[in-house]
Amino acid sequence: MIIKISVSTDRIDKPIIAESILETGTLLNISQAHFDSIHGEIIADVPKNDFEKFSESLISKGAKVVQLDMPVNRDDDECVNCGACVSICPMKVFKIGEDWSVNMESENCIQCGTCIKTCPHGALSIQNFME
């Protein structure tokens, strides 16, 4: 289960992720992380049966947790098959087809949002991304 963990300024200097891992015994696979002086955000894959206890632990420590259960969506009316998403996607969700159209394998999506930022037509979106 893919989740987004957001940590605010007042909690960014605390090891709340590590504490929650130790407290719950949950193993997670971090696919993307960004931290700066005012905010932290992690996209991670957590075992489905551990989500509730891990989420509760993080929330009790001041983090916000959102389940990202929808892969990238493409608005076919906006997409012009330019291919900007193909080379930028770390998981190779997008591929150029025989007919030069952009094809998607949504099951590979880790919801990192890189394609959303890159799409010149705004044809891509992810539910709960950048909230």
Gap between the Cα atoms of 13 and 95, Å rounded:
40
Tell me if 111 sits within 8 A of 68, measured CB to CB. yes
- pTM greater than the 0.85 cutoff: no
Q: Quick one: pLDDT at residue 131?
A: 43
One digit per residue, the tens of pLDDT, for the chain of length 131 reads 888 899 987 877 788 999 999 999 999 999 888 888 778 889 888 999 999 999 999 999 999 998 877 788 999 999 999 999 999 998 899 999 999 999 999 888 877 788 999 999 999 998 655 44
